[in-house]
Structure 1
Amino acid sequence: MKPDLKAIFKQIEKVQEELEKVQAELEKKTVTEEAGGGMVKVTANGKREIIKIEIDKEVVNPDDVEMLEDLLVAAVNKALQSADKMINEEIAKATSGLLPGLGGLPFGFPGFKA
């Protein structure tokens, strides 16, 4: 029995449409992570862009710039990891059941981790 190519292509189109919707929605969604007990907060969106950084005045010390740099790196990395998780969860929700055998996740989507 030959696979129904028309049905397969319809499913692929449907997945593509769903992914476009998800991408548009993810641009509006954000995650915020912190480091140093909340002294540094970083907000990222679903496009993996850093859109806001908040730094508590107490952590700004000209004699210890290295600590602030470390806190910024930690908070940015946490925010990007949370953004990746959010992206993958939204993609999984949108594509579940659309392409059986692929686990609901499209390969090659930015932020996708196997």
Structure 2
Amino acid sequence: MGKFPGGGFGGGNMQQLLKQAQQMQQKIQEAQAELAETEVTGVAGGGLVEIGMMCDKTVNYVTIKPEAIDPDDIEMLEDLIVVAFNDAMKNAEDETQRLMGPMAGGMGGLF
């Protein structure tokens, strides 16, 4: 069987690829740990409803100001909660992309 440059089947290139993969895995683990400790918020109604969420999508708190509560219009409060939640999710995704995005570029089109 033919050999690849560098000897063996891939030689030094294969070891270099494995080393790069291990480094990438380490960076991903570090970014995931940072994301697990990063909190984002989502707000709606000019701050009437606020949701705090970790970037791993764990909700920490929901704050609803008294003026957001109208017993005759519960639907408005429900809408504010949905908007605040979606805002928090978007902020978590943005933060995830900020931390993980540069690593995706280093995978050479593997994903």
Q: TM-score range by the shorter chain?
A: 0.7 to 0.9
Q: Is the 8 A contact 1:22 1:90 kept in 2?
A: yes
Q: Which residue of 2 aligns with 1:68?
A: 77
Structure 1's 100 and 19: CA in aligned 2 closer, same or farther, altered over 3 A? closer
Structure 2: which amino acid aligns with 1:67? M
> 1:26-57 CA deviation, whole Å, 9 max, x = no partner?
11111112101110011111102221111001
Question: Residue 38 of structure 1: which of 47, 54, 65 is its match?
Answer: 47
Question: Residue 79 of structure 1: which of 79, 85, 88 is its match?
Answer: 88
Structure 2: which amino acid aligns with 1:82? N
Q: Secondary structure at the match of 1:63?
A: coil
Q: Secondary structure at the match of 1:37?
A: helix
Q: Secondary structure at the match of 1:88?
A: helix
Matches of 1:10 and 1:53 in 2, distance apart?
Answer: 44
Greater CA deviation, 2-11 or 48-57?
Answer: 2-11
Q: Which residue of 1 aligns with 2:34?
A: 25
Runs of 4+ in structure 1 deviating by more than 3 angstroms, as ranges, are none
1:7 aligns with 2:7: no
In the alignment of these two chains, the number of paired residues is 102
Q: Structure 1 unaligned segments of length 5 or more: list them.
A: 108-114
Q: What TM-score do you get using the length of structure 2 for normalisation?
A: 0.80
Once superposed, what is the RMSD of the aligned Cα atoms? 2.0
The alignment-based identity, stated in percent, is: 32
Matches of 2:69 and 2:50 in 1, distance apart?
Answer: 14
Q: Structure 2 unaligned segments of length 5 or more: list them.
A: none
Q: Is the 8 A contact 1:32 1:42 kept in 2?
A: yes
Q: How does 1:40-59 map to 2 (within 5 A)?
A: 40-59=49-68
